[in-house]
Amino acid sequence: MNEAEIGLHVSGAGSLDLAFDRASEVGATTFQIFTRNPNQWKFAPIPGEVLERFHEKRARLGFRHVIDHMPYLPNLASSEEGTKKASRAALKEEVKRCDALGIDYLVVHLGSHLGRGTMAGVRNVAQAVGEALEGSEGGTTILLENMAGQKNCVGARFEELAAIVEKAKESDRVGVCLDTCHLFAAGFDVGTEAGVSETMSLFDQCVGYARLKVVHLNDSKGALGSALDRHENVGKGRIGSKGMRSILHYEGILARPLILETPFADERAMRQSLATVRRLMM
């Protein structure tokens, strides 16, 4: 059996291939990056020499999975024409960038339907995902990230994720990234072993466990059902060590790449958090 892949979100500042060095330095065996500034619509093409170094380092260092996160500005669930057009163009371009880099998974926030209704949002996301993949010549899989239950959000409920997968073209390249903080904030009690089992059984019934490709392993600053998207270091939030251990020990979780998404003050804090996860795995 392969060793569990445990990593974090690292910076690609300076050159995207430097993410491999930064992840390796702290003992991560996988990582997540932004391929461009997540808070801007504009972006620069990836230089050919960066693409070459990215592929060379991945092969040399042996990273099995590399994950990209979609920028924050696009709202794929929106029905507003200007936002919809810009968001779909951004997703399509991001898929192309991932294909060129050989990135396995692109995690996307689904956004808000802005009062137009959940099913309108579901249809918009499904159409955006299908259009982005239809023109793709690579193998990148788009992962729908579950949301924390904020007002008008799409994807906090498993039924909504399932409906997007069902409606999307190229659905064989659509999966799910479950964020544990978002689960807890949306009202899924993953703070106990029984709660984790019930939550994951429901996910399997609605979406299918095979669709789960990546786990964002984040504790929660907010209470159960708070709809508060505030990440905390593993074991130090409301989910706690008991819940995080239960998540890690649920059958099949360790076969998925695990990504920590909390702010880290320095490399020492990164190493400590990775060590915490490995201790809870035992």
Question: What mean pLDDT comes out for the span 113-138?
Answer: 96
Please check whether residue 206 is in contact with residue 166, taking contact to mean a CB–CB distance below 8 angstroms. no
The whole-number pLDDT of residue 136 equals 93
**Angle of CA points 191, 192, 198, to nearest 5°:** 105
**AA identity, residue 88:** R
Computed over every residue of the chain, the mean pLDDT equals 97
Task: Give me the residue spans of the domains in the chain.
Answer: 6-281
Q: Residue 257 to residues 84, 131, 217, 268: CA-CA distances in angstroms?
A: 31, 26, 10, 21
**AA identity, residue 208:** G
Token look-up 């958090």 returns: 273
| 274 C-beta neighbours (distance < 10 Å), count | 20
Tell me: the pLDDT tens digits for 137-168? Answer: 899 999 999 999 999 999 999 999 999 999 99
Question: What mean pLDDT comes out for the span 236-241?
Answer: 98
Question: What mean pLDDT comes out for the span 176-181?
Answer: 98
| Distance of alpha carbon 236 from alpha carbon 127, whole angstroms | 39
Please check whether residue 108 is in contact with residue 70, taking contact to mean a CB–CB distance below 8 angstroms. yes
- To the nearest 10 degrees (0 to 180), the angle between helices 81-101 and 48-61 is 60
pLDDT band at 36 (very low <50, low <70, confident <90, very high): very high
pLDDT band at 263 (very low <50, low <70, confident <90, very high): confident
The whole-number pLDDT of residue 86 equals 98
The whole-number pLDDT of residue 198 equals 98
Tell me: the pLDDT tens digits for 43-65? Answer: 999 999 999 999 999 999 999 99
CA 221 to chain centre: 19
| Distance of alpha carbon 225 from alpha carbon 173, whole angstroms | 31
Question: What mean pLDDT comes out for the span 187-192?
Answer: 98
β-pair type (231-232, 219-220):
antiparallel
The tokens describing 39, both together, are: 């808070």
pTM score over 0.95? yes
* Domain 6-281 class, CATH top level: alpha beta
